[in-house]
Every structure is written in C-alpha cells, then in structure tokens.
Structure 1
Amino acid sequence: MGRGTRVLMATGGVALALTVLAGVAWWVLQPRVEPLALPDGLVAVSGPAGTSRLNGAEARADYPALAAHFESQRLVSYCGVASGVAVLNALGRRLDQSTFFDAHEVGPGARLRVMFGGMTLAELAGFLMAHGAAVELRYADAVTVEAFREAVGRNLRHPMTSCSSTTSAKCSGSVVSGTSHRWRPTTRLRIRC
C-alpha cells in the first residue's frame, strides 16, 4: 500500500471518528421527554387540583408573567438557561436560549462550558447580571425552611414589573427558587432589571 493510500485511510478514519463523536455528543445533550410522576405530596399545576390551588393562592402574582414565557430547556444542561430566559422575558427582555449567551459580559466559551457542564446557581446569577438584572443570591441552607418560605411568599404577593432593556430603571423583582433532587428549596434569587 502506498503512502498516499495510507494518508487517505488515516484521514478517513479520523473523519469517521469525529463524526461518531459528534453524533454521540448530540445524542447525549438532547433532553429526553419523559414526564416523571410527581413525588407524594406534590400537585401538578396543570391538573384540576393544581389549578384550584393556584387560583386560591394569595402568593401568585408572578405566575402569569413567568408561565407566559416558559419554554422547555433545549439541551439537558440548559435548565438554568431556560429559567433565566423565562425570568428576563417576563421582565420585558426579548431573549431565547440561543441568544442568552450574547451579552458581552458573559465571556467567550460560556456557551460551551454550560452546554457540556451545566451551571451553578451562582453562575446563573452572573449570567442574569450580565443581562442587566440586579440579583440577590441566598442559599437556603443558610436560613430555615420557614424563613425561606416567608421570603418567597412575601415576594410572590407582588407582581413583577416589566422594564425596557434600553432604560436603566430598576424594577421590582422575582424570587426564583431552585430545588434539589430531594425536592427541598436550595436557593433564592431576587432579580430586578
């Protein structure tokens, strides 16, 4: 076999390996649509019991704005991206998951880091600040469950205020509570634009 044939075969092998690797990466990053049963004690907001509870709740002022801008995460690692886009859009911004990383303060490589590694809640706060939001981050393990619930309830009694991304006006915020895999609150973000 000649040198040219060996080079051609090696190049073809590398191209095939890269194609397979790209296919595996794409497959791994795509979210699986597998609705899971809710743990005991939780009620889906989309069901009759959930709708009834929501309609009877005092602390639901932010729900309509957030629900109107909800979209499922496009990649497995984009939970924070989808949440951030919903909150910023509820405050009057116009973003989607593909433009979330366009703020120049985010820095190069952020999209790839999040795509392959996800983000912490502190990193989500940083991304939101890069879009002009004022963010207050508190970890729930630093306060009692009762104090956390009180803070969330107090905030949810007041509707979000929209603002234009071209103004520097401060807006009232939203509490975004994360949950751990054990279904307990893990953090609180207070967001203003």
Structure 2
Amino acid sequence: MIASCFRAAVLLLGISIGQASAEQLPLPDNLIGAATDGGEALLVGADAREAYFPLADNFVTQKTQSYCGVASMVMVLNASGVPAPPVPEYEPYRTFTQDNLLDERTDAIVSRDTILKQGMTLDELGGVLATQPLAVVVKHAGDTSLDDFRAMGREYLDQPGHFVIVNYLRKAIRQEVGGHISPLAAYDAEADRFLILDVARYKYPPVWVKAEDLFAAMNTPDASNGDRTRGFVLIKTKAAE
C-alpha cells in the first residue's frame, strides 16, 4: 500500500518534472531518465529518497548557462526551510530565487560578475551556502573515495533536512560537455545509482547515474579551482544536527 501511494505521488510530481523541455538532448545508454518506467521503478524502490519531494517541490531551471550552482542552492535553501528574503513581486511571501540569493556577503566569496561569466567552483559553492544557517561540508573527490561518497550520499539522502549537491564533469558521464552542478535526490542500492535533479532542464532531464560513474566525473580537475578536483557538498539544517 505504501509503495502504491508513493508511486502515485511520483507520477503526479513527474508531470511537472517531465515537461521541462521538448528539445532536450538524447541520453546516453549509461544513464536512466527519471521519467521513464525504469527511472520511476528506481525511485519507488530507492533506499534513500528523503530529499526527493522537498527538492522536486522546489525544482527550478537555471536562468543562465552559468547559473547551475545558483539554481542548485536555491532549490536546497527553499527545500530546507531556512528563512528566505522578501520578493517584491510575491509580497507578502518570501522565497529564495536566482535573483535574490547573491548579495554583498556572497560577493566576498565569488562576485556576481564572475558567476555570470563562468559559474562557480566547488569551494565557492560551499562558501556561499555557508553564509546561510546551514551546516555545510565540502568534499573534494580527490580527498575521499567512491565508498565514502556512496556511504555519505546515502546517509544524507536518507534523512530529513539533509541534502547533497554534486559538482561533476558532464563528458565523464557521456553528456555534453563541461563542468556542472546539481542536487542529488535519491539513491538506489540495488542498482547503485544516484538520482541527479539536473537544473539545466532545457538540456537534460533528471537522470539516474551509477555511483562509480558519478564519482569518476567528480574526480576530475577543475582549472578554475587551481586544478583541485570537483566533488560534492553535504548540507543539513541546524535543526537536523
């Protein structure tokens, strides 16, 4: 009964997720689209999926091709329930948007002009998140291991108020083509796959990717970050500590 109810909820939510774009690029055969029968089955049977509904409720498309990090943070911040700034057009309601997340405090970490031109690095992503009332841990893939990533990712995705954002090289999972940032939403142990809610929704849908492949895509040097490897950020609300 629980699985049936969850499947129904997935189908309802999948309507909005699946309609992001009619011109997305085709997926390589190593990835499983979330909106396919196989993708739905993975989510229904997933071992860790506490992050899925909070993130899916707040799923956004990055507003520019360099704003993947900003869009990912907006999703996590709204999903986490931390106090949000006012938005004049939504008054009296408050929410994080890709227009109000960045300010003078975040400029001290990475300027808005830099993000607009080239995006952000893993360390900059962690630094901006740390300006909010969250517990944030940055993990470079080169400083950890596949087993550690799998264990930490599963642990976080299995707890309310916990989130994971990944920074990876697209071409390493046979997508096009450069560095990218998006949140994870679930993990299925039997398939050993993580679900990426890709914020470039005009380009690719959410996908299930093998843990080994995702780790390899994170374990790549980022020239914008002094050739340190990409990696992942573990985030939890203060209430979840």
Q: Same fold (TM over 0.5)?
A: yes
Q: Which of 184, 189, 192 does residue 233 from structure 2 map onto?
A: 189
Aligned 1:158-177 pairs, distance under 5 A: 158-160=159-161, 173-177=162-166
Q: Distance in 2 between matches of 1:151 and 1:174?
A: 11
In structure 2, runs of 5+ residues without a counterpart are 1-20, 83-94, 174-213, 219-230
- Give the aligned partner of residue 62 of structure 1: 51
User: What SS class does the counterpart of residue 39 from structure 1 fall into?
Assistant: coil
Amino acid at match of 1:97: Q
Q: How many angstroms apart in 2 are the aligned matches of 1:179 and 1:40?
A: 18
SS across alignment from 2:30: coil
Q: Does 1:50 align with 2:94?
A: no
Flag the 1:97–1:49 CA change in 2: closer, same or farther, 3 A: same
Match of 1:145 in 2: 146
Cα drift, residue 96 of structure 1: 0.4
SS at match of 1:100: coil
Cα distance, 1:130–1:34 mapped onto 2, change above 3 Å:
farther
1:39 counterpart = 2:25: no
Pick 1 or 2: higher relative contact order, CA cutoff 8 A, min separation 6.
2
Alpha carbons 2:122, 2:232 under 8 Å: kept: no
C-alpha RMSD of the superposition: 2.0
Quote the offset at 1:177 in angstroms: 2.4
Instruction: Indicate the structure with greater helix content.
Output: 1
Q: Distance in 1 between matches of 2:25 and 2:146?
A: 25
Separation in structure 1 between the aligned mates of residue 46 and residue 232 of structure 2, nearest angstrom: 20
Q: Residues 62-116 of structure 1, C-alpha deviation per residue, up to 9 Å, x if partnerless?
A: 11111111101000100000001000110014200000103x4213782211101
Residue 7 (structure 1) aligns with: none
Which residues of 2 match residues 36-115 of structure 1 at below 5 A? 36-93=25-82, 94-102=95-103, 104-107=104-107, 110-115=111-116
**74-83 vs 135-144, which deviates more?**
135-144
**Which has the larger share of strand?**
2
Structure 1 unaligned spans of 5+: 1-31, 161-172
- Larger CA Rg, structure 1 vs 2: 1
Deviation of residue 33 (structure 1)?
A: 8.1
Aligned residues: 149
Identity, % of aligned positions: 34
